[in-house]
Amino acid sequence: MCGPKEFTAVFYSLQSWRGIFERFDRDRSGHIDATELRDALLSLGFSVSPTVLDLLVSKFDKTGGKHRAIEYDNFIECCLTVKGLTEKFKEKDKAYTGTGTFSYEDFMLTIFWNSGFRGDIERGQGRNQEFIDGWAN
């Protein structure tokens, strides 16, 4: 549950992301295709390779690949995933070189955290608590 301050922040973030979605849904289809997604992510400061872009569209296209595009709700989920992974990567890229050093444990927790296992990680019951605390904040 979030308080009024957090709710307001989430509300305005969603409004902003709705505007981005609508701006880059150039054909007004209600879906963002790979090219539109690339441009939307770039506008948010995220540059991903064509391979990663294709994987994102595949993962977040909930039509089973019928449209090869993502709807607004899935766009939000996609952006949150890219944002979360990017933030965690930047923590490990201390020299800002585009490379980072991860332990196997950190890598696995990063991937699982962004793959829907967040609750399981948060309930780590003391295992690697420092890392878990870093994720929860």
Domain boundaries, the chain: 4-80
Task: Give yes or no for residue 121 having a pLDDT over 60.
Answer: no
Q: CB-based burial of residue 83 (10 Å sphere; 0-12 exposed, 13-18 middle, 19+ buried)? A: middle
Integer Cα distance of 52 and 30 in angstroms = 22
CATH of domain 4-80: 1.10.238.10
Q: Which amino acid is at 121?
A: I
Other CB atoms within a 10 A radius of the CB of residue 45 amount to 9
Backbone angles phi, psi at 75, to 5 degrees: -60, -45
Q: Which pLDDT score is estimated for 119?
A: 46
Q: What share of the chain is helix, strand, coil (3-state, %, to 5)?
A: 65, 5, 35
pLDDT tens string 52-104: 999 899 889 988 777 789 999 999 999 988 988 888 888 888 888 888 887 88
pLDDT value of residue 132: 47
Residue predicted with more confidence, 87 or 122? 87
The per-residue pLDDT for range 12-28, each reduced to its tens digit, is: 888 888 999 999 999 99
